[in-house]
Amino acid sequence: MVLSVVALVSALGVVLSKNPVTSVLCLIITFFTIAGHYIMMNAQFLAVVHIIVYAGAIMVLFLYVLMLMNLNAELEPQKRNWLKYAGAISGGALLVVLVAALRDASMPALSAESTDIGLIKNLGMLLFKQYVVPFEVSSILFLSAMVGAVVIGKKD
C-alpha cells in the first residue's frame, strides 16, 4: 500500500516537475517501488533485472543525456496553456473510463503464499526451451539498435 502511494506520487512528480533532472530522480523512485511490487508478487528475477536495467542503465543514460545538453537553465515555453489542460483532461477521462469499465470485474484474490515460478531456474528453463526463437530475435534487435544508435549519433 505504501509502495503504491509512493509510486503514484513520484509518477506525478515525473510529469509535473519543472526541472528535468527532478523528473529523472522521481522516475527512479517509481522504478524502485515497482521492483518492490515485483518482489511481493514472487517475481524475484524480474525485480533484479528491472533494477539493473531501468535504474542502472536506462536512467543513467537519460541523466547523462540531460547533463550533456545542459537543459537546466532552459525552461519550457508556457505559451500553450490550454494544451496542458486538454492533455490533463483527456488523461483523466481515460482513467475514469478504464476504472469504470473494470470496477465490477470479479477477479480472484492473490494468495500470500509464495510460488517458485519467478525463480531464475524456472524462468531460464522456460526461456531456453519454449522461447528460444524470440530470445534470438531479440538479440538481433539489440544488435541492430546498437548499430543504429551509433550511426545516428555519429558526427557526420
Partner 1 sequence: MPVQYYIFLSIALFCIGVMGVLMRRNAIIIFMCIELMLNAVNLLMVSFSKMWADAGRVDAGSAQLFVFFIMVVAAAEVAVGLAIITMVYRNTHSVDINILNRLKN
Site for partner 1 in 55-84 (CB under 8 A): 57-58, 61-62, 65-66, 68-69, 71, 74, 76-77, 80, 83-84
Minimum distance between the CB of residue 73 and partner 1, rounded to whole angstroms?
Answer: 13
Task: Check residue 153 for interaction with partner 1 (CB under 8 A).
Answer: yes
Please tell me the distance from the alpha carbon of residue 9 to that of residue 28, in angstroms, as a whole number.
12
Site size with partner 1, rule: CB under 8 A: 78
Please provide residue 48's backbone torsions phi and psi, each rounded to the nearest 5 degrees.
-65, -45
Name residues contacting partner 1, limited to 18-37 (CB under 8 A). Answer: 20, 23-24, 27, 30-31, 34, 37
Task: Check residue 98 for interaction with partner 1 (CB under 8 A).
Answer: yes
Minimum distance between the CB of residue 28 and partner 1, rounded to whole angstroms?
Answer: 10
Minimum distance between the CB of residue 95 and partner 1, rounded to whole angstroms?
Answer: 4
Name residues contacting partner 1, limited to 111-130 (CB under 8 A). Answer: 111-112, 115, 117-118, 122-123, 126-127, 130
Task: Check residue 131 for interaction with partner 1 (CB under 8 A).
Answer: yes
Long-range own/partner contacts, residues 76-85 (CB < 8 A, 24 or more apart) = 76/18
Residue 11 contacts residue 34 (beta carbons within 8 Å)? no
Nearest to 35 by CA among 55, 60, 21: 55
Residue 41 DSSP label: T
Task: Check residue 88 for interaction with partner 1 (CB under 8 A).
Answer: yes
Residue 73 contacts residue 40 (beta carbons within 8 Å)? no
Minimum distance between the CB of residue 103 and partner 1, rounded to whole angstroms?
Answer: 8
CB atoms within 10 A of CB 28: 20
